[in-house]
Amino acid sequence: MRRLLSIAPVLLWLVTPLAFAQLPGITSQPLPGGGQSWSLPVQTLVFITSLTFIPAILLMMTSFTRIIIVFGLLRNALGTPSAPPNQVLLGLALFLTFFIMSPVIDKIYVDAYQPFSEEKISMQEALEKGAQPLREFMLRQTREADLGLFARLAEYRPVAGT
Cα–Cα dist 151/81, whole Å: 39
Contact 109, 134 (CB under 8 A): no
pLDDT of residue 141 exceeding 70, the answer is: yes
Which residues 6+ apart lie within 8 Å of 25 measured at CB? Answer: 39
Mean pLDDT of the region 19-38: 59
> Residue 134: pLDDT band by 50, 70, 90 thresholds?
confident
71, 85 in Cβ contact below 8 A?
A: no
* Reported confidence tier of residue 139, pLDDT bands at 50, 70, 90: confident
Q: List the domain boundaries for the chain.
A: 39-153
Residues 6+ apart with CB under 8 A from 17: none
Choice between 90 and 11, residue whose per-residue pLDDT is larger? 90
**Cα–Cα distance, 51 to 31 (Å, whole number):** 26
pLDDT (0 to 100) of residue 30:
57
Confidence of residue 17 (pLDDT cuts 50, 70, 90): low
Q: Looking at the predicted structure, is the pLDDT value of residue 29 above 70? A: no
Q: Which residue spans within the chain are E strands per DSSP?
A: 28-30, 36-38
Mean pLDDT throughout 36-52? 77
